Amino acid sequence: MVNGGRWTEARFRSFIISALRGAHGKWGVKHDCKAEARVSRGLYECAECHTIGAATLPPKEGNKRRRNNAAVDHINPVVEPEVGFVDWNTYIERMFLEAEGYQVLCDTCHSAKTAEERTRRKKR
């Protein structure tokens, strides 16, 4: 138990990961990568399928929020699906990368990559 016995180890890990993800949203290199993929105002080229599409898509049925169609993606997963979480230093090193570690993917390619990683993770 951590945090004065309030949280389990899993809850603590979730809290730290959430805080790191928030900080990653402000990581300048990530924004530079997205700027590099920009073709013109509001249009980006996907690094996988090379289509040029709008930065956002209409919401899916039943949702109100528009979908990101220019996701800045880690080329290599932050947590390797076959290995799982190693330690905090490895997690941080793999989250905060230089430009060559990122790519911009359209919604279709990003969803496919995420699904493939999820499948690999489930096999472990």
Specify the DSSP element, H or E, that contains 50: none
For residue 3, what pLDDT band results from cuts at 50, 70 and 90?
confident
Tell whether 23 is covered by a domain: no
Range of the domain at 108: 28-123
Tell whether 18 is covered by a domain: no
β-bridge mates for residue 57, sequence order: 67
**Residue 107 CB neighbours (<10 A):** 16
pLDDT tens for 22-33 read: 999 999 999 999
Specify the DSSP element, H or E, that contains 4: none
Tell whether 13 is covered by a domain: no
88: three-class secondary structure by DSSP: helix
**Residue 85 CB neighbours (<10 A):** 12
Q: Judging by DSSP bridges, how do beta strands 71-74 and 102-105 pair with one another? A: antiparallel
CA dist., res. 30 & res. 33, Å (int): 5
Label residue 69 exposed, middle or buried (CB < 10 Å: 0-12, 13-18, 19+): buried
pLDDT tens for 59-115 read: 989 999 999 999 999 999 999 999 999 999 999 999 999 999 999 999 999 999 999
Tell whether 108 is covered by a domain: yes
Tell whether 8 is covered by a domain: no
State the total domains in the chain. 1
What is 50-87 written as a DSSP string?
--EEESEEPPPTT--SPEESSEEEESS-SS-TTT----
Label residue 94 exposed, middle or buried (CB < 10 Å: 0-12, 13-18, 19+): middle
Tell whether 92 is covered by a domain: yes
